[in-house]
Structure 1
Amino acid sequence: MSTMKSVRTGGVDKIEVVDVERPVPGPKDALVRIRACGICGTDVTFLHMGGMPARAHLGGEMVPVALGHEPAGEIVELGSDVEGLNIGDRVVVNPQDAPTGIIGCGGKYGGMSEFLLIENAEVGRSVAVFPDTVPFDVASLNEPMAVARHAVNRSEAGPGDKVVVFGAGPIGLGAAIWLKLRGVEHVVVVDVIPSRLEKALAVGADAVVNSAEEDLAARLTELHGQSANALGQPRPGTDVFLDAAGVAAVFNTVVNSAKWGAKLVMVAVHKKGSEIDLGGMLRSELTLIASQGYPTEIFEVTPELVEHRERFARLISHRVPFSEADRAFELTLTPGAAEKVVVTLDD
């Protein structure tokens, strides 16, 4: 039996690198040698939990999770029935297409492994091929950029709109990039970490606001002009707010700042519920739009990721070798220590 190394949860806020059986592809499968895999906030959630709950009939105890749902790699084995793929193709993966469960999110396989089995491999559904002009670490951004793209698609923001993105992490910055690439007139990114705001400007945001130091409503009025809510109370002229921060303060700020007819797109996961000022929403006829995953966007983004690879590469703050996986996850677990960590698996 051939084995490979794979990263999984190893208790609360810990990982373990384990030897597991190397998958053998069936007639419809492909085996991908992973060359890079990003670490996501969902991985951190599993680490905080120490795994994920088993099914009730197993007693409900926490069981380990094979981590990694942002992989990029190259095909090294193909089943006899697979069409449209070749050995050596560089691919990104749709983690939600695996029949044995979402890759890296409770499914049988995790992308933070030396090899990953793509079950029922099919171009455009389970994988997409990308050219060798794109480094594997940049290609691994495909999945989170699909999340960001779906949020922007849900916003329906157009060229004449003025948009605010809360949170300058990978999803927020990705959303800012997509907004500018679709021609949105003015995009502001809001955060409290100066280095992240600098990066927001570097990837194309028109302006940034440090909400810990500035009066946000006043600054947005300066940038987007003055409008009003349904009662005629003055409000910034912002058309769309996008929450990629996931804190209650963002929601409350938007309700207090929204003009009549504004939209709020919520893509961040809120760890705790918050009280909603329904009266405030009513006074602005604020539309709340939830954005979850990437129903159609997983490979919609791939050609543009290829085209604008240097711009997206700026999102990566740390590239850490697989041999130092502990350090990679420690960086991600430490607030403010890193923006986007990608684990690399070289020869």
Structure 2
Amino acid sequence: MKAVVCHDTKLEVTDVPAPEPGRGHLLLDVHHCGICGSDLHARVHADDMADAAAASGYDGFMRAGDSVVFGHEFCGEVVDRGPRTSKEIKTGTRVVAMPILRTGGAVHTTGLSVHAPGAYAEQVVVQAALAMPVPNGLPSDKAALTEPMAVGLHAVRRGQVKKGQVAVVIGCGPIGLAVISLLKASGVRTVIASDFSPGRRALAAQCGADVVVNPATDSPYDAADARGKYVTAAGLFDLAVDSMTKLRAVPLLPWWTAMETAQKLGALPEGPVIFECVGVPGIIDQVIASAPISSRVVVVGVCMGSDAIRPAIAINKEIDLRFVLGYLPTEFREALHLMADGKVDPTPLMTGTVGLAGVEAAFSALGDPEKHAKILVDPRSDTTAI
């Protein structure tokens, strides 16, 4: 079959053996597969990513010298199954699947390991237990975005954003746009989006961002401050003095009782939840230095280089710093159904489609944020230009 193989940073359409499903596997004819930022990173930083994965306990990630078929955001049609595999999902069913495959006695990441070839190909093997039928006639190109939308949903859940809190999204690439979409689908009333690119700011607005900021001229944190958040320690100190003065003036009620009650009711000041979706060195420290007091920072962007932060600033502001990876099976399913039910529209992310022969050009095109967010691969298409 035809597939796009990456070897030593080079992408080439070539003939590879057709995959054979093993026990517990389904074989899919690929309809669409998204090009992910992880694919762009893996093409040039495979060894760094493999080292990071190995330090985390997984040693099957691709190396630069491996020949790997990328593609882990996909939708396809079931055409075969391996021996002793459940027939719960019938042949002819369109499915999406979490990109994890048990093969050769181990579990590997589909599309990022030589042991689990991905969906920049005519066919791909998936784990039957992780496959989910596409509901409500959702088109295959939109269904292929289940994986990045699940990443966005998981980030939102990890952020524990309340509907009345302000959420700030730094970086409006595909994952930032997914986070914006899922914040709004979760009922968060105020979402501030920040990106240097006019094109991506326009996409952020289409995804539902309430305030869109160019950080070259305006601060997203000033926008948060305008909504009652305290950017500086001085603002919080003023609030503390004013509050204590008022509480001590209340007769018959000890001030500490009133404050403890307010704390239990969530009435004390809290900063916004900030989603860092850029993933380049220096951004986390920049966010910490600029963020309002008591902010929660959720790191979604994948930084491949070494980085440094100034802990004293985070300590002085009581910044809550969290990192996220992937999603739960329930979140993967929920992301799929949110799209199928019309509650999340991935259309703004979808800026182009190519066939296998157009993948290399698509990788280059994705370097221009003014033109593209998410390019999809359709193995049945002859399109080569974006």
- TM-score under structure 2 normalisation? 0.79
Please tell me whether residue 277 in structure 1 is matched to residue 306 in structure 2: no
- The answer for the alignment partner of 2:299 in structure 1 is 266
Q: Distance in 1 between matches of 2:334 and 2:163?
A: 20
Aligned residues: 335
- The answer for the alignment partner of 1:105 in structure 2 is 112
- The answer for the alignment partner of 1:241 in structure 2 is 274
- The answer for the alignment partner of 2:189 in structure 1 is 185
- The answer for the alignment partner of 1:139 in structure 2 is 143
Please tell me whether residue 130 in structure 1 is matched to residue 164 in structure 2: no
Do the aligned partners of 1:53 and 1:62 also contact (CA within 8 Å) in 2? Answer: no
Deviation at 1:68, TM superposition (A): 0.7
Deviation at 1:27, TM superposition (A): 5.3
| Change in CA separation of 1:78 and 1:96 when aligned onto 2, cut-off 3 Å | closer
Q: Distance in 1 between matches of 2:278 and 2:64?
A: 30
Kindly name which structure, 1 or 2, has the bigger radius of gyration based on alpha carbons: 2
* Equivalent residue letter for 1:102: T
- The answer for the alignment partner of 1:338 in structure 2 is 372
| Change in CA separation of 1:219 and 1:88 when aligned onto 2, cut-off 3 Å | same
Counterpart selection for 2:76 from 70, 73, 77: 73
Task: Pick the structure with more helix per residue.
Answer: 2
Do the aligned partners of 1:328 and 1:343 also contact (CA within 8 Å) in 2? Answer: no
- The answer for the alignment partner of 2:36 in structure 1 is 40
* Equivalent residue letter for 1:110: G
Please tell me whether residue 8 in structure 1 is matched to residue 1 in structure 2: no
What secondary structure is seen at the aligned counterpart in 1 of 2:100? helix
- TM-score under structure 1 normalisation? 0.87
Do the aligned partners of 1:169 and 1:196 also contact (CA within 8 Å) in 2? Answer: yes
Q: Distance in 2 between matches of 1:166 and 1:343?
A: 27
Q: Distance in 2 between matches of 1:219 and 1:108?
A: 45
Give the fraction of aligned pairs with identical amino acids, expressed as a percent.
30
Deviation at 1:83, TM superposition (A): 2.2
Q: Distance in 2 between matches of 1:99 and 1:165?
A: 38
- The answer for the alignment partner of 2:337 in structure 1 is 303
Q: Distance in 2 between matches of 1:11 and 1:334?
A: 23
- The answer for the alignment partner of 1:320 in structure 2 is 354
| Change in CA separation of 1:264 and 1:88 when aligned onto 2, cut-off 3 Å | same
Q: Distance in 2 between matches of 1:193 and 1:266?
A: 20
Deviates most, 228-237 or 262-271: 228-237
Deviation at 1:289, TM superposition (A): 0.6
Please tell me whether residue 254 in structure 1 is matched to residue 287 in structure 2: yes
Q: Distance in 2 between matches of 1:344 and 1:46?
A: 21
Do the aligned partners of 2:98 and 2:131 also contact (CA within 8 Å) in 1? Answer: yes
- The answer for the alignment partner of 1:161 in structure 2 is 165
Counterpart selection for 1:292 from 325, 350, 355: 325
Deviates most, 144-153 or 40-49: 40-49
* Equivalent residue letter for 1:10: H
Deviates most, 99-108 or 230-239: 230-239
* Equivalent residue letter for 2:340: V
Do the aligned partners of 2:199 and 2:370 also contact (CA within 8 Å) in 1? Answer: no
Q: Distance in 2 between matches of 1:209 and 1:249?
A: 20
Superimposed CA distance per residue, residues 279-333 of structure 1 (whole angstroms, 9 cap, x where no aligned partner)? 1111110000110111342223211121127721221111112332222222234
Superposed CA RMSD: 2.7
Deviates most, 195-204 or 309-318: 309-318
| Change in CA separation of 1:117 and 1:78 when aligned onto 2, cut-off 3 Å | same
Do the aligned partners of 1:78 and 1:86 also contact (CA within 8 Å) in 2? Answer: no
Q: Distance in 1 between matches of 2:71 and 2:271?
A: 36
What secondary structure is seen at the aligned counterpart in 2 of 1:153? helix
| Unmatched 5+ stretches in structure 2 | 239-268, 382-386
| Change in CA separation of 1:96 and 1:88 when aligned onto 2, cut-off 3 Å | same
Do the aligned partners of 2:96 and 2:143 also contact (CA within 8 Å) in 1? Answer: yes
